[in-house]
Amino acid sequence: MTEPADRGVDHLTFDQALAALEQTVAELEAGGQPLERTIELYERGVALERRCEQLLAEAELRVRRLVEGARGAVATADMRLDDETPA
Q: What's the confidence (pLDDT) of residue 78?
A: 63
User: Is 79 within a domain?
Assistant: no
* Number of domains composing the chain: 1
Q: What's the confidence (pLDDT) of residue 75?
A: 57
Residue 21, domain extent: 14-71
User: Is 38 within a domain?
Assistant: yes
Q: What's the confidence (pLDDT) of residue 69?
A: 76
Sign of torsion over alpha carbons 27, 32, 36, 42: positive
**pTM exceeding the 0.85 threshold for the entire prediction:** no
Residue 65 contacts by C-beta under 8 Å, 6 or more apart in sequence? none
Indicate which CATH number applies to the domain containing 52: 1.10.287
User: Is 76 within a domain?
Assistant: no
User: Is 87 within a domain?
Assistant: no
Q: What's the confidence (pLDDT) of residue 68?
A: 79
User: Is 77 within a domain?
Assistant: no
User: What is the spatial distance between Cα 71 and Cα 73, in angstroms, rounded to a whole number?
Assistant: 5
User: Is 4 within a domain?
Assistant: no
pLDDT tens across the length of the chain (87 residues): 344 555 689 999 999 999 999 999 999 999 999 999 999 999 999 999 999 999 999 999 999 888 877 776 655 666 665 555 554
